Every structure is written in C-alpha cells, then in structure tokens.
C-alpha cells in the first residue's frame, strides 16, 4: 500500500493516455475504457459489451468529461447497433445517463442519425451499424483535431493577455487527455504553454468531492513533467490574494447561447475571485459544447449527485459502489448538497476559446457568429 504511488512519483510512462478504444475480438465488438474511478492508484480497463454497461460506466464517472462523454455516447450507439440491440432504446438510455454535458447528446445523436439514415437508404441493419461506427470514429478524430487547434488558439490568447510569459495558471477539475480524443481542452492549453517554456506553475484545484483535480489532473501533469502544485479548493482565495495566479483556465460541460458556462462545481467561485483580482478567466471548449437550444444559464440542467459522495470518502483503488461503502466523514444521516456543476455568467468570462478561435468579450452574437462561421449554424 505504502508504495503504490511510487511509480507515479517517478513517472516515465508515455504521455499519451489511451482512454477509449473500439476492439473487435472473436467474441464480438467491445468498447474498452480506462476506468477513471481507479486513477491514479491503478490503470484498469473496463470492457463494455452493451449500452447498459456503458450507461453504468458514465454514471459512475469511469468515463467522464464533456468531449469524452460525446465520443463514448457515439460508440455506445454503434455498439448497440453492431450487436443487434434496439438502437433507439440504447440511444435514449445513453443520452439520459448524465444531464449536463451537452456533448453526450451530441455524440449519441450523431451516431444514431447516421444509423437511421443508412437504414432508410439501404434497409440493411449491418450497413446501418457500420455507418454508426463510422460516425463515432469521425467524432473521435474530430475531437482530437479540435483539441490541437484549441491548444494553439489558447496559447496565442495567453501570449496576448500575459505578454511577459512565465504563466502561473490555475485550473479546476480535469480537462486533459482523459476527457478527449486528443490532449483535451483547458489542460491542452496549459500543456502547450509548458511545451513552449511559458508555464511557470500549474495550480491544480483538488476538486471536491470526487477529486478529479487531485486524482486525474495531477496524474496527467506528472506524466507530462509539468511544474504543478495541488491545493484544496478553498485555498484558491488566498492564492489569488497573494498575487500567485496569472490566469484561470477551465473547460465546460455546456455553454448556453448567451455564453453562460456550466462546468464542474467550484468554477463559478473561481470566476468571482478572478474578477475581483483582475485575473483573466478563460474557458476552453470545442464547439460541440455550445448549445444553441439552451438560451441561458438558468435553463441548464445541473446534475445533482448522491449525498454519499460528500458524506463519505473512499480511496481510488476501491471500486466505486453505493452509499455506506466509503469512510464516513459526517454523522450518519447527514443531508448533503452535491451539485456536480455550477454556472458562470458570461460577464465573468474573459474569453471562450474554441477550435475556431476565441470569443472575447463573450456575447450571444459573437458566439453565434463563430458557430455560423464554422458551419455549425445551430445558434439562434
């Protein structure tokens, strides 16, 4: 037990982290996921043979983070199609697995509409399943490309906003390779700054209650050799007050048409702190995260998670299970408030960086224009 993290301290493993892949063993196609609930203690893979297994993996956060949820949702539809299950039923279950990240429904819709179109055209379920899988693969590839472009645009923006270099960047939750077909969103920008010799320090919020910052972002930062320091979420205020933060970089689960940003709970307080301390607050997200159908922040559904995630703690090496399986840190029967996300209004966001460039200041019109320019005329 004492030395289970030794390898992580001296991490020399490749920086690329395989988080999701489609495999076709003789027993039939499967979706293989890196189980993120077990990180950083161990790298364990989960093999999904049907959509219900994937729905469970999504709910338990074995697979998580907005862009990856989209990719997983698309592969989940393909899995149901290839294995001959009811595709519409699988699509509904996958889409409903978590409510806030719009990418999940985008991914599910892309694969299921490819399936329906091919089925109408050919009448052949096998050809339709092939089309659904192709749509999932395309989304996976497009996300990798978007990730690289966001990193480049984000780095340019940082250079403009902070011309002196030597950035000290604060980030929240996990937004790297673990959530993406590529190197992620906000963390991809920090990584680009690191590679350019511009990152002095990555401040990593631990991100209570499920510790995506401590378990996952620190894990990724260590693998990349970034200079990082972990802090408790409530230490951020004193860090700003000490003048130690040059910029905040976060991802997003859903961006409403007015530019309101839903992201991991704790993002909004960081935006307030950043405004008070005159520090840029930058959101990095692919255009698949912009949701034209949701007009404003108040219309975003925020996922409420079970109270035991707050009233108990558990070690990452213990598989996630239900209430009562962790170590209690509150009296039995304590009620917990456990929203998974919060919403930051557009006026607190300095810029939204997408694969098509940055929007700053953040307005409904500027976002709509960016989406229209990219061919995603879904806004408005």
Ligand X SMILES: CSC[C@@H](O)[C@@H](O)C(=O)COP(=O)(O)O
Q: Please report, in range form, the residues annotated as the binding site for substrate.
A: 64-66, 98, 212, 263-264
N-term to C-term CA, the chain: 54
Q: In whole angstroms, give the CA distance from residue 221 to residue 219.
A: 6
Output 87 or 282, the one with its CB closest to ligand X.
Answer: 282
Q: In whole angstroms, give the CA distance from residue 149 to residue 136.
A: 20
Output 39 or 101, the one with its CB closest to ligand X.
Answer: 101
**Which residues are paired to 247 by β-bridges?**
169
Output 176 or 346, the one with its CB closest to ligand X.
Answer: 176
Residue ranges binding ligand X (CB under 6 A): 61, 64-67, 101, 173, 175, 179, 184-185, 212, 251-253, 263-264, 340
Query: CA separation (Å) from 206 to 66, 115, 312?
Result: 19, 40, 16
| Among 268, 341, 263, 338, residue whose Cα is nearest residue 67 | 263
In the complex, the smallest distance separating the C-beta of residue 340 from ligand X, rounded to whole angstroms, is 5
In the complex, the smallest distance separating the C-beta of residue 67 from ligand X, rounded to whole angstroms, is 5
Q: Apex CA 96: angle with CA 93 and CA 98, to 5°?
A: 130
In the complex, the smallest distance separating the C-beta of residue 54 from ligand X, rounded to whole angstroms, is 15
The three-state secondary structure class of 228 is strand
**Which residues are paired to 199 by β-bridges?**
167
Output 131 or 186, the one with its CB closest to ligand X.
Answer: 186
Q: In whole angstroms, give the CA distance from residue 280 to residue 270.
A: 11
In the complex, the smallest distance separating the C-beta of residue 264 from ligand X, rounded to whole angstroms, is 3
Output 252 or 368, the one with its CB closest to ligand X.
Answer: 252
In the complex, the smallest distance separating the C-beta of residue 253 from ligand X, rounded to whole angstroms, is 5
Whether 3 is a known active-site residue: answer no
Q: At what angle do helices 125-161 and 66-82 cross, to 10 degrees?
A: 170
Catalytic residue among 35, 246, 253, 258: 253
Q: In whole angstroms, give the CA distance from residue 306 to residue 109.
A: 28
Output 82 or 97, the one with its CB closest to ligand X.
Answer: 97
Q: In whole angstroms, give the CA distance from residue 373 to residue 140.
A: 22
Query: CA separation (Å) from 294 to 308, 348, 352, 367?
Result: 30, 19, 17, 13
Please tell me whether the peptide bond between 209 and the residue prior to it is cis, using omega within 30 degrees of 0: yes
The three-state secondary structure class of 35 is coil
Output 246 or 253, the one with its CB closest to ligand X.
Answer: 253
In the complex, the smallest distance separating the C-beta of residue 107 from ligand X, rounded to whole angstroms, is 13
The three-state secondary structure class of 349 is coil
The pair of three-digit structure tokens given for residue 324, joined into one six-digit string: 């009562």
**Which residues are paired to 220 by β-bridges?**
none
In the complex, the smallest distance separating the C-beta of residue 65 from ligand X, rounded to whole angstroms, is 4
Biggest CA pair distance of the chain: 65
Q: Which residue number is nearest to ligand X in terms of Cβ? A: 251
Residues 6+ apart with CB under 8 A from 269: 236, 342
Return the active site residues.
Answer: 253
């Amino acid at each position: 037990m004492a030395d289970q993290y030794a390898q992580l301290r001296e991490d020399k493993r490749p920086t690329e982290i395989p988080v999701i892949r489609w495999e076709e063993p003789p027993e039939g196609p499967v979706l293989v996921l890196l189980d993120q609930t077990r990180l950083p203690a161990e790298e364990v893979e989960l093999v999904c043979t049907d959509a219900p297994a994937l729905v469970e993996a999504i709910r338990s956060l074995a697979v998580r983070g907005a862009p990856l949820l989209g990719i997983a949702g698309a592969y989940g539809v393909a899995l149901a199609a290839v294995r001959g299950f009811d595709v519409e039923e699988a699509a509904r279950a996958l889409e409903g697995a978590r409510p806030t990240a719009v990418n999940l429904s985008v991914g599910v819709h892309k694969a299921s509409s490819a399936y329906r179109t091919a089925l109408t055209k050919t009448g052949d379920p096998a050809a339709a399943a092939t089309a659904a899988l192709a749509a999932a693969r395309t989304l996976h590839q497009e996300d990798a490309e978007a990730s690289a472009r966001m990193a480049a645009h984000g780095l340019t923006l940082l250079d403009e906003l902070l011309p002196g270099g030597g950035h000290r960047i604060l980030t929240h939750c996990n937004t790297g390779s673990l959530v993406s077909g590529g190197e992620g969103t906000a963390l991809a920008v920090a990584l680009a700054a690191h590679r350019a010799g511009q990152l002095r320090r990555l401040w990593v919020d631990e991100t209570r209650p499920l510790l995506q910052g401590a378990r996952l972002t620190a894990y990724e930062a260590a693998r990349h050799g970034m200079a990082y320091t972990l802090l408790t979420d409530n230490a951020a205020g004193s860090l700003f007050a000490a003048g130690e933060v040059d910029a905040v970089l976060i991802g997003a689960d859903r961006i409403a048409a007015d530019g309101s940003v839903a992201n991991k709970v704790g993002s909004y307080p960081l935006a307030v702190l950043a405004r008070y301390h005159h520090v840029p607050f930058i959101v990095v997200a692919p255009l698949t995260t912009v949701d034209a159908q949701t007009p404003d922040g108040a219309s975003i559904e925020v996922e409420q998670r079970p109270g035991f995630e707050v009233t108990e703690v558990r070690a990452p090496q213990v598989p996630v299970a239900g209430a009562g399986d962790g170590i209690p840190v509150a009296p039995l029967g304590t009620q917990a408030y456990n929203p998974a996300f919060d919403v930051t209004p557009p006026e607190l966001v300095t810029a939204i960086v997408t694969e098509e460039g940055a929007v700053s200041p953040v307005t409904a019109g500027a976002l709509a224009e960016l989406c229209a320019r990219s061919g995603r005329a879904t806004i408005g």
